[in-house]
């Protein structure tokens, strides 16, 4: 008798857990509806070579949304200042843009807004450095896992 009651409790727990996961997933789907529909997990590279203006500043613009950055592969030159203009494509889900490579002078974290914001930095070392969104919804896949990640490639 005792072990069957125990089994019942386990079953109830497992069902509640999976119901909650599905509810959370459905909630996020409802929130994203009407914005962008992206095939989650199929990251496609969108390259952009930063353009250099007369003052020697390299510029690029990035739009972030569910669940992408466009472009998501920015190429910049080493030891020249970079101005990244970033904004959100829309929707209610919060996104940010994080870079965590202080060894290359690429270190920032900014919440995206509908209005463009500017990130300035000067890359000091060649290489490929990740950028990503560190947001997520409860215990579900992070935005980064869903495709909100990219690369800043620093070249000579």
| Binding site residues, Cu ion, CB under 5 A | 95, 133, 135, 143, 148
- Please report how close the Cβ of residue 26 comes to Cu ion at its closest, in angstroms: 19
What does the alpha-carbon distance between residue 88 and residue 115 come to, in Å, rounded to a whole number? Answer: 7
CB of 94 to Cu ion, least distance (A): 7
Q: Which is nearer to Cu ion, 52 or 110 (CB)?
A: 110
Cβ proximity to Cu ion, 96 vs 129, nearer residue: 96
- Please state whether 144 falls in left (phi above 0), alpha (psi between -120 and 50) or beta: alpha
Distant-in-sequence, close-in-space partners of 148: CB < 8 Å, separation ≥ 6: 64, 67, 68, 69, 95, 132, 133, 135
List all residues 6 or more positions away from 101 whose beta carbon is below 8 Å from its beta carbon.
107, 129, 130
Residue closer to Cu ion (CB basis): 95 or 123: 95
Please state the closest distance from residue 68 (CB atom) to Cu ion, in A: 9
Output 105 or 134, the one with its CB closest to Cu ion: 134
Write down the least CB distance from residue 87 to Cu ion, Å. Answer: 13
């Amino acid at each position: 008798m005792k072990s069957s009651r125990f089994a019942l409790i386990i079953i109830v727990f497992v069902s509640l857990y999976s119901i909650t996961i599905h509810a959370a997933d459905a909630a996020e789907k409802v929130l994203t509806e009407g914005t962008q529909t992206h095939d989650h997990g199929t990251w496609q590279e969108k390259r952009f070579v930063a353009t250099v203006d007369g003052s020697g500043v390299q510029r690029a613009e990035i739009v972030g949304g569910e669940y992408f950055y466009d472009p998501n592969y920015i190429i910049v030159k080493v030891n020249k200042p970079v101005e990244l203009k970033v904004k959100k494509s829309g929707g209610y889900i919060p996104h940010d843009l994080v870079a965590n490579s202080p060894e290359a002078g690429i270190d920032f974290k900014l919440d995206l807004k509908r209005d463009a914001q500017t990130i300035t930095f000067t890359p000091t070392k060649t290489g490929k450095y990740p950028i990503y969104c560190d947001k997520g919804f409860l215990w579900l896949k992070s935005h980064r896992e869903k495709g909100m990640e990219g690369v800043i490639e620093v070249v000579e």
